Amino acid sequence: MLLNRSKLMLACLIAGSISVSACSKNQDSKKDDTLTATAPATGEASNLTDRDTKQKLIQTLQANFQKAGVKAKILDAKPTEMPNLYWISMEGMSSVYATADGKFLIQGDVIRLGGKELSSIGDSLQAAENKKHLSQLKTEDLLVYPAKGKTKHVIYVFTDASCPYCHKLHEHIPEINAKGIEVRYIAWPRGEQFMPAMESVWCSPNRQTAFDQAITGAQLPPATCQNPVRAQYELGLKMGVNGTPAIYNVEGEHIGAYMTADEIESRLNK
């Protein structure tokens, strides 16, 4: 069962369940109030119209959430390249799409066609949010494995000591570091029952040694310190994490789940 289920009411309402990967976690037309993405092309009037449109959308969505008994706080609404479709950021939840009239939500990907490869129109928006979140993390709150020699890349990995795929990835840490890649682990216990182990790791004098023990199933002493594990779990929810390991580059782009050192290096060099 996921942590803080009350904060996931909206996701459950929309999809009925949270998608998983890798190690999964256990209005009247006559009224002039229609929201559109239309605005003057340039100038101050355009900016004012954009702000008014965004604010009206947020107010409409919040009102509709309240009617449905959904406890969700909207932080921002950004227009996407698709007409009348907005990217909605919410507190403690993954971002979703909303139509400009505030009547429909879309959870998942909206795929762009026309190029040689398929891509989601929300990727750059989510990455921008992720980059901001990751840049605010303090290294002393993470479990860091420095690169050997010159640091060429840094990756952030949401991990859980109970996850078999995290075990496999952890075995590649020396090889990953040897390629000049620094690994920064972020705690993301996949269920309440896994929280104590990760808190114990983060409260240990040597987190690396403690994590090595925890992934073998060893019992660690109970956590006795203030720790960021729950806050890091909440961060994962904001970034759309739904399984471990979840690997991100410093630009906030999700580059994959379990991968070998060569695969990680290849993704980072693209």
Ranges of CATH 3.40.30.10 domains, the chain: 134-269
- Each residue of 44-74: pLDDT tens digit? 555 777 888 899 999 999 999 999 999 899 9
Instruction: Classify 33-121 by CATH class.
Output: alpha beta
Residues of the chain within CATH 3.10.450.70 domain(s) are 33-121
| Digitized pLDDT (tens) for each residue of the chain, 270 residues in all | 434 433 344 444 444 333 333 787 763 433 333 333 333 344 555 577 788 889 999 999 999 999 999 989 999 999 999 999 999 999 878 899 999 999 999 998 899 999 888 989 999 999 999 999 999 999 999 999 999 999 999 999 999 999 999 999 999 999 999 999 999 999 999 999 999 999 999 999 999 999 999 999 999 999 989 999 999 999 999 898 989 999 999 999 999 999 999 999 999 998
Superfamily of domain 134-269: Glutaredoxin (3.40.30.10)
Q: For the chain, give the secondary structure using H, E and C.
A: CCCCHHHHHHHHHHHCCCCCCCEECCCCCCCCCCCCCCCCCCHHHHHHHHHHHHHHHHHHHHHHHHHCCCCCCEEEEEECCCCCEEEEEECCCCCEEEECCCCCEECCCCEECCCCCCEECCHHHHHHHHHHHHHCCCHHHCEEECCCCCCCEEEEEEECCCCHHHHHHHHCHHHHHHCCEEEEEEECCCCHHHHHHHHHHHHCCCHHHHHHHHCCCCCCCCCCCCCCHHHHHHHHHHCCCCEECEEEECCCCEEECCCCHHHHHHHHHC
